Structure 1
Amino acid sequence: MSAREPTAMYAPPAADSDRQLLLAAQHEAAGALKVALTGHPRWGYQGRTVGQAGDHPFHGRCWLRLQSTPVHKAGGKHWLGAEQAEAAFPTVRRPALISLHDQTTGDTAFRAELAEFVTAPVCSPEPVLHTELRLPDAWWTSLHAELDTIAATPTDRIAVRQEWIDRAVPKYTGRPAPVITHWETAHADLHAANVTSRGPWLLDFEGFGIAPVGYDPAMLYAYSLLAPETAARIRAEFPVLDTYFGQIVLLVVAAELLQSASRGDHPELVPALKDMVASLAL
């Protein structure tokens, strides 16, 4: 979840005590950051985050997102993602980070991120695209520009590791693991729920970092396989996907999403992902 008021994608934590813990931390952060919360809380993946619209006396409409993690993991890649993206991508169209607030309750650490509120709707309420997108040529031109800027931005953050590829690709695709020789900076979570239908604005940069060349368009394409017209448009817009390196990165992305599906995420995408793997000319 990020700086807009989306349709809820995920359920709150299963345990009521965990839900109350996050909501209490959210309200403490709202008070510390002088935000009057409005609307309803929106839960993120596995109930680890909660976001809600609010009003700030100086910044106006805004979005307050709270992430939680065990204390010993605070300061990791996702913990620092929004803060580091703010510094790394000053010209990319993304919600501006206004302020941060950290707190700890017992063995759980919380980071609240107050960000600019984006009114443009997301392309989909969930990562897997189920309906075709009708987007103007200018939208695609802008997306290319944003991704080119991200790809050219130096970073020491790592989104995808060769060591993970070596393990995951054979396990989840049955194909030999490729050795990646071309890397670039990626948003690393590019799907229809993280990009708006106007602009576009790119949302949720927590996981950005170095990944195989073509990783962002490959991820956008794989999450769009159930909307074949849009998938075909993505493929046409990003000819890198039809190169040897593009075929490799599609294999890597398939492994990632099949691994995620093995944990219960988006099972409806599995047959299309397996068909894509079988079609790769590797």
Structure 2
Amino acid sequence: MTLSVSPGVAVDLRVQPVDEILDRVERSLQVRFAPDTVVRKRRSVGARTDRDTWVRVERRSLDKIGDQGWNGTECAARLANIAQPAWRGCVVWRDADEPVMWRADETELLPGVPVGTAVLSEDPKLTDAWWRALNTSLDALAAQHTRRLATPDTVPITQTLVTETIQTVVPGDFDTTVEQWAPAHADLNWANMTAPTLCLFDWEDWGNAPRGLDSATLWGSSLAVPALADRVRRERRHDFESRDGKLMTLFTCSKILGPDAHPEDPRLEPARRMAEQVAAELHAG
């Protein structure tokens, strides 16, 4: 096994050797990876195959794999009327040396390139047709049914988490009880969707979440581009105007403004202003 890491040391697949992992996946799925297409992220590695598909390999610790498992991409394959890459198959195994599991999912290739990084600094100038496709997919997703619980940042989203996260930055005695839960992507940012043709990918963490989580998350990743953030709020107005949407806006602001905030993050000031505005609305309502 290539990765042997001391307990307590965070693994970053951008720097750790992964050749043995990729070799194992190639043998299991009977594919060959194109070396010049490998994309390495902190906890996942992806690459194009010789049969024109994409394989994403993820490393996840056992304590981050709950009762529902971690087969989000596989389970998302049954969702209807959503722009996403077709799922082809997977291979999963437990690491022989570390308390982690590995999972490789094979999907069809994306129809375009990612819009950008998780947090944008420039307006991607998306078309009206793109926004209509996004609304169609998000509305279709929210209308479906699942017993899965969304796990943004691999953490199950619960009422307790919502309340505690909001109160770390916006203390107050207003009610933070979520009224509506519905299926959400739970990692909806600009790195997980394509343009000019819309396709939503990286479905590892989808599941039931408070209404408006996806809209608020996308808005939060747009705050460095005010016109884009405003467009997200206009397009998803029905989410943001709901009580749960306001709670999710506060939830997103609290994550931006929390103890791990970078002092030079351009999103800090707009998130602070929005948090104050929404908190006042919830207090008044």
TM range (shorter): 0.7 to 0.9
Please list the CA deviations of residues 190-245 of structure 1 after superposition, one character each: whole Å capped at 9, or x if unmatched: 11111111231011111111111122111111110111111111111122213443
Q: Give the partner amino acid of 1:117.
A: L
SS at match of 1:79: coil
Contact 2:162 2:251 in 1 (8 A): yes
Cα distance change of structure 1 residues 118 and 266 upon mapping to structure 2, 3 Å threshold: farther
Cα distance between partner residues in 1 of 2:191 and 2:264: 14
Q: Which residue of 2 aligns with 1:222?
A: 220
SS at match of 1:236: helix
Give 1:1-282 correspondences, 5 Å limit.
13=12, 19-20=16-17, 22-38=18-34, 39-44=36-41, 47-55=42-50, 60-71=51-62, 73-74=64-65, 79-87=70-78, 89-103=79-93, 104-107=95-98, 108-124=100-116, 126-159=117-150, 160-176=157-173, 178-240=176-238, 241-259=240-258, 262=260, 267-280=265-278, 281-282=281-282
Cα distance between partner residues in 1 of 2:188 and 2:49: 26
Aligned length in residues = 259
SS at match of 1:189: coil
SS at match of 1:36: coil
Query: TM-score, normalised on structure 2?
Result: 0.82
SS at match of 2:114: coil
Higher helix fraction (1 or 2)? 1
Q: Which runs of 5+ in 1 are unaligned?
A: 1-11
Contact 2:180 2:210 in 1 (8 A): yes
* TM-superposed deviation, 1:13: 2.2
Cα distance between partner residues in 2 of 1:206 and 1:78: 10
User: What is the alpha-carbon root mean square deviation over aligned residues?
Assistant: 2.5
Cα distance change of structure 1 residues 76 and 24 upon mapping to structure 2, 3 Å threshold: farther
* TM-superposed deviation, 1:54: 1.6
Contact 2:120 2:190 in 1 (8 A): yes
Cα distance change of structure 1 residues 155 and 94 upon mapping to structure 2, 3 Å threshold: same
Contact 1:151 1:184 in 2 (8 A): yes
SS at match of 1:158: coil
Please list the CA deviations of residues 123-181 of structure 1 after superposition, one character each: whole Å capped at 9, or x if unmatched: 11x11111113122211111111011100111111122101112111113334561111
Cα distance between partner residues in 2 of 1:202 and 1:166: 28
Cα distance between partner residues in 2 of 1:101 and 1:265: 41
Q: Which residue of 1 aligns with 2:153?
A: none
Please list the CA deviations of residues 79-122 of structure 1 after superposition, one character each: whole Å capped at 9, or x if unmatched: 211111113x1431111111111223322321111111114011
Cα distance change of structure 1 residues 28 and 149 upon mapping to structure 2, 3 Å threshold: same
* TM-superposed deviation, 1:269: 2.8
